[in-house]
Amino acid sequence: MDNILKDKESTSISVIIPTYNRKRYLRRALKSVFSQTLEPMEVIVIDDGSTDHTRQMLKRYFPDVLYFHQSNQGVSTARNTGIKMAKGKWIAFLDSDDRWKLQKLEKQMTALQNSSDIKICHTNEIWIRNGEFVNQKKKHRKFGGYIYQKCLPLCRISPSAVIIHRSIFEDIGLFDESLPACEDYDLWLRMCSKYPVLYLEQKLIYKYGGHADQLSQTFWGMDRFRIQALEKIIEQETLTPEQKQVTLKTLLKKLRIYTNGAKKRNKTEETAILKGKIRHYQTLLEI
């Protein structure tokens, strides 16, 4: 850690935690932040309209937290608010129901200093669902390097596991606030289409699942939001020809699966629209 401490400005970290009615979990998350062996420059909690006395808990137990309350607008807006407030060179996200191991920030910043050309780092994670440890499936395996193609089927990066240099956001933009879910999937696609990623195999975060208020529990058919993200990145025309080909193939696969689901639910109008999209993107793939 000595090398890091010699250059505090270039390694300054802003931790951003969006929260909504998760006072009990938030306290656990913040304890893990303030216990880090590498102290962040600032800790920002964006309260997305909580009604569970989150503000009072923070004032009592975590007076050093920078607190901002906004009306309920969703996690993308909350994270974007935090990014705009942040003063650090590096941005680290932590979901309010997750927590970090003690050396999470130190290990990531040490690795990044040893790979000075890389501006994004994520780590492996421990999954806990409904109080039980869960093994990750093969499809959830994480990678480093140029991982755009591996990010197409599903999220390969967890927000709680990542540190990103703020210049990345200045280049590719912030979270898409129009997406009610899979907003991180959309960001990772835009990010990984241009930048390599550093991956630490060490499991440095505890990722908790099974809550009734998780987005994956709230919204059905999560692939519909991934379809939107894929359509958007194709339309932006920022991909290389090879990236565009594999993106179109993934989009068509997801569209066909989603269309079959709409057909089974007797969504006649939606099915017709989806079939039109399939024809359109199939034509693009063949060009």
CA atoms of 162 and 138, how far apart (whole Å) = 20
Please answer whether residues 175 and 76 qualify as being in contact, where contact means their C-beta atoms are separated by less than 8 angstroms: yes
Furthest-apart CA atoms within the chain: distance in Å: 63
Render 90-157 in DSSP notation, one character per residue.
EEEE--TT-EE-TTHHHHHHHHHHTSTT--EEEEEEEEEETTEEEPPPGGG----BS-HHHHSSS--S
CA angle 141, 76, 242 (to 5 degrees): 50
| Residue 215 pLDDT greater than 50, yes or no | yes
pLDDT for the residue 209? 85
Tell me the mean pLDDT in the region 53-80: 97
Q: Which of 182, 177, 178, 189 is nearest to 250 (CA)?
A: 189
pLDDT tens string 82-140? 999 999 999 999 999 999 999 999 999 999 999 989 999 999 999 999 889 998 888 88
pTM of the model as a whole: 0.92
Question: CB neighbours (10 Å) of residue 83?
Answer: 19
